């Protein structure tokens, strides 16, 4: 996949792994759309990167917000070619304990962001990539979804994150 002169969407791109991904893609010559809820960090990172970087405020669980970010990335010459979903949240709480059962709304919110939000970005970015003309190797784009080892390790208190 050619990164130089490609348009990339980085969901959760305003901090952590997402910001590192946005910096790396930008450094390799990509036009980067940073999609995140964190307005201050997103605007600052886009400003730091300068040309070929833009921030779009987006909640990955909101279809219209993600569609707007995808449209921003797809509007560049050549269309959206790279989607990296790094958006995620965590919450540490045991399934049950002295305070009672794990809060169901907290569990649902973590799953909504980390699982459903990731799928939302994936489905909308992949649909936009279907419109691209095939590149040199016949590819139309690449989607990368990130996670952590917590999904495999079953760490204490990480039931929602691991799910």
The DSSP result for 16-45, as a single string, is: HHHHHHHHHHHHTT-EEEEEES-HHHHHHH
Q: Which two tokens stand for residue 87?
A: 């958006």
Query: What does residue 77 show for φ and ψ, rounded to 5 degrees?
Result: -55, 130
**Per-residue confidence (pLDDT) for residue 146, from 0 to 100:** 94
Q: Which of 73, 85, 161, 162 is catalytic?
A: 161
Please give the model's pTM, rounded to 2 decimal places.
0.94
Q: What does the alpha-carbon distance between residue 119 and residue 109 come to, in Å, rounded to a whole number?
A: 15
**How far is the C-alpha of 159 from the C-alpha of 114, rounded, in Å?**
13
Please name the CATH architecture into which domain 7-148 falls. Answer: 3-Layer(aba) Sandwich (3.40)
Break the chain into its structural domains and give their ranges: 7-148
pLDDT at 160: 86
161 noted as active-site residue: yes
Q: Which helix (DSSP H) or strand (DSSP E) does residue 83 occupy? A: strand 80-85
Q: How far apart are the two ends of the chain, measured CA to CA in Å? A: 31
Tens digits of residue pLDDT in 126-156? 999 999 999 888 999 999 999 887 777 778 8
């Amino acid at each position: 996949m050619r990164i130089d002169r490609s348009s990339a969407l980085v969901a959760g791109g305003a901090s952590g792994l997402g910001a590192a991904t946005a910096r790396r893609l930008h450094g390799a010559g990509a036009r980067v759309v940073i999609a995140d809820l964190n307005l201050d960090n997103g605007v600052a990172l886009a400003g730091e990167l300068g040309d070929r970087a833009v921030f779009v405020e987006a909640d990955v669980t909101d279809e219209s917000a993600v569609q707007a970010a995808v449209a921003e990335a797809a509007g560049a010459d050549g269309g959206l070619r790279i989607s990296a979903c790094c958006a995620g949240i965590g919450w540490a709480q045991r399934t049950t304990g002295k305070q009672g059962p794990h809060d169901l709304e907290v569990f649902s919110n973590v799953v909504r962001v980390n699982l459903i939000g990731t799928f939302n970005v994936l489905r909308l970015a992949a649909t936009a990539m279907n419109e691209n003309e095939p590149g040199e190797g016949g590819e139309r784009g690449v989607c990368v979804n990130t996670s952590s080892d917590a999904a495999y390790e079953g760490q204490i208190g990480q039931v929602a994150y691991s799910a």
